[in-house]
Amino acid sequence: MFFFRRIAMDDLIRERIRKLDRLRELGVDPYGQRVQGIQSSAAVHQQVARLGIGPGDRLESEIAMVAGRVVLLRDMGKLAFVTLRDRRGDIQIGLAKNVLQTTWDVVKCLDMGDVVCAKGSLGRTKTGEDTVWTTELTFLAKSLQPPPEKWHGLQDVDLRYRRRHVDLYVNPDVRQVFELRSRIIQAIRGCLIERDYLEVETPVLQPLYGGAAARPFTTHHNTLDMDLYLRISPELYLKRLLVGGLERVFEFAKNFRNEGISTKHNPEFTMLELYQAYGDYHDMMEITEAMIVAAIEATGGGYERPFGEETIHFRPPFARRKYADLLNEYAGVDMTDVPALRRKAGPMGIDQTKMDDAVVINAVFEKAVEPNLVQPTFVLDYPAPICPLTKRDPHDPLTALRFELFAARMELGNAYSELNDPQIQRENFSKQLRGEGDETMAVMDEDFVMALEYGMPPAGGLGLGIDRLVMLLTNQTSIRDVILFPLQRPVGK
């Protein structure tokens, strides 16, 4: 029954265990059972206001029950004020020795961080603080770990991520971000359901990876004795569903890319992908704006959002700019003038000698244009060779019917008029562009091409980076602050 994980147990923990033992001596279960009839802190505040309870008043007839974590504790010997935190906010409970009598010994076992339930009459103190004057105190969970400093909270970024469970209850702003994240996702889902889209799930474990240019994670299935990849994109499976006639599908897809980590990149991230049969990338622009409007409305605060040093204006329609025009504007080069582009590339630190033309063009674009795209902008019509999954412009085979959405210098979304010609698709898969890194090459997926051979309707398809959208709408400049548990190295011994 007793086992000690720590040889040298911390004094603070030992003290808490002493109180835990004391509670048991007093016949109190430190880890209580289900409780019914709990009111939220916010509901109690509303009730006090509605009843017009004034400073110094107490209504014995109004019984309230609240539960939460002890985040502040002010003990004055025979009277104590304790601040409980629940998911709606904070509420103060008052504990008086002459009321609780023998239970007072239990109060003396209270520590910061404990989870308790308090039942009692509603009141407001002289200083105007809404208070539950407690007649019954129930322990729900004794906290054995000492909480962070009560005023500064948990600041150490590393510790915040490693102990997100602590971060969340100590720093209310953090919880707020993740509540907003949930609302954003719900709003987008609602927007798509309303448009008769079907939410689906496709494999994370894939025998071949595709749908993006990225290095995959590899894994292995024992029983089948086969190597598998964690998906870098759900694209090729969602398109199979278009072949199958589902016509409008979407997936909030966790993708995995075995690449660099930065404030804008986490190895696993969430991307919304959606496909609409009989549509094209113009439909995707319209639906992108609609989803972002829904997300804006769901989070409140209007169309102008602070983000770091910038203010982003999200009122649609967003700017629509041709890729070639932007390249001309910011790099001063015509997209068709490859020698000029190559001359530009060198001074920009791009090693263009090993790159195919289209790769050079895009490298220059990324370097010269993207840092200027602060306000939401659809960049239209990409060089065809870097778009193996995109339909070509029927009037200009060098142009792909694709847009990327940028905001705050980040790529937020990516959409195509989807390529549905299996012969062109097979050809694109077999083209090896130089300069893109061997492991990120599009991999020939015969099974997918064969699916196209059954006939896929023309369609618009869109990928929208959910983490980055949440960053923009919650003013978090690091992706780790919108992902509950960002990947970190384990702490070394």
Candidate segments 42-50, 142-150, 192-200, 372-380, binder of RNA by CB under 7 A: 142-150
Residue from 42, 103, 161, 322 in contact with RNA (CB under 7 A): 161
CB nearer to RNA: pick between 185 and 387: 387
User: C-alpha dihedral over 181, 187, 191, 196, to 10 degrees?
Assistant: 90
Candidate segments 156-164, 236-244, 299-307, 393-401, binder of RNA by CB under 7 A: 156-164
Closest C-alpha among 192, 196, 378 to residue 294 = 192
What letter represents residue 251's amino acid? Answer: E
- Residue 89 CB, nearest approach to RNA (Å): 13
- Half-sphere exposure for 381 (CA within 13 Å, toward CB): 16
Residue from 386, 405, 473, 482 in contact with RNA (CB under 7 A): 386
- Give me the residues paired with residue 117 across strands: 67, 138
**Contact in structure between 48 and 130 (CB atoms under 8 Å):** yes
**Span 439-478, contacts to RNA by CB under 7 A:** 440, 442, 477-478
Residue from 30, 68, 120, 388 in contact with RNA (CB under 7 A): 388
Helix (H) or strand (E) holding 369: none
Residue from 148, 216, 279, 465 in contact with RNA (CB under 7 A): 148
Residue from 268, 310, 325, 436 in contact with RNA (CB under 7 A): 436
Task: Mark residues 204-243: x for contact with RNA by CB under 7 A, - for none.
Answer: --------xxx-----------------------------
Candidate segments 10-18, 180-188, 322-330, 419-427, binder of RNA by CB under 7 A: 10-18
CA distance 195 to 460: 14
**Span 256-275, contacts to RNA by CB under 7 A:** 257, 259-260, 262-263, 265
Candidate segments 5-13, 181-189, 244-252, 273-281, binder of RNA by CB under 7 A: 5-13
**Contact in structure between 407 and 312 (CB atoms under 8 Å):** yes
Q: How many residues does the chain have?
A: 493
CB nearer to RNA: pick between 58 and 175: 58
DSSP string spanning 154-170? ---HHHHHHTHHHHHHH
**Span 414-433, contacts to RNA by CB under 7 A:** 414
Candidate segments 158-166, 175-183, 281-289, 335-343, binder of RNA by CB under 7 A: 158-166
Give the C-alpha distances (Å, rounded to integers) separating 389 from 78, 81, 380.
Answer: 73, 64, 15
- Residue 169 CB, nearest approach to RNA (Å): 13
CB nearer to RNA: pick between 52 and 492: 492
Binding residues for RNA, rule CB under 7 A, total 77
**Contact in structure between 30 and 5 (CB atoms under 8 Å):** no
CB nearer to RNA: pick between 294 and 433: 433
CB nearer to RNA: pick between 296 and 415: 415
Q: Please, what is the angle between helix 446-453 and helix 422-430, to 10°?
A: 160
CB atoms within 10 A of CB 73: 17
In three-state secondary structure terms, 412 is strand
Residues 217-241 as b or e (16 or more Cβ within 10 Å = b)? beeeeeeeeeebbbbbbbbbbbbbb
CB nearer to RNA: pick between 202 and 414: 414
CA distance 219 to 197: 32
CA distance 439 to 239: 23
Q: Does the N-terminal peptide bond of residue 147 adopt cis geometry, omega within 30 degrees of 0?
A: no
**Span 70-129, contacts to RNA by CB under 7 A:** 72-79, 81, 83, 92, 94, 96-98, 111-112, 125-129
- Residue 263 CB, nearest approach to RNA (Å): 4
Does residue 283 interact with RNA by CB under 7 A? no
**Span 356-375, contacts to RNA by CB under 7 A:** 362-363, 366-367
Phi, psi of 86 (to 5 degrees): -120, -170
CA distance 250 to 260: 27
- Residue 316 CB, nearest approach to RNA (Å): 24
- Residue 136 CB, nearest approach to RNA (Å): 17
Residue from 6, 220, 395, 489 in contact with RNA (CB under 7 A): 489
Residue from 32, 89, 146, 422 in contact with RNA (CB under 7 A): 146
- Residue 186 CB, nearest approach to RNA (Å): 27
Closest C-alpha among 451, 427, 426, 431 to residue 441 = 431
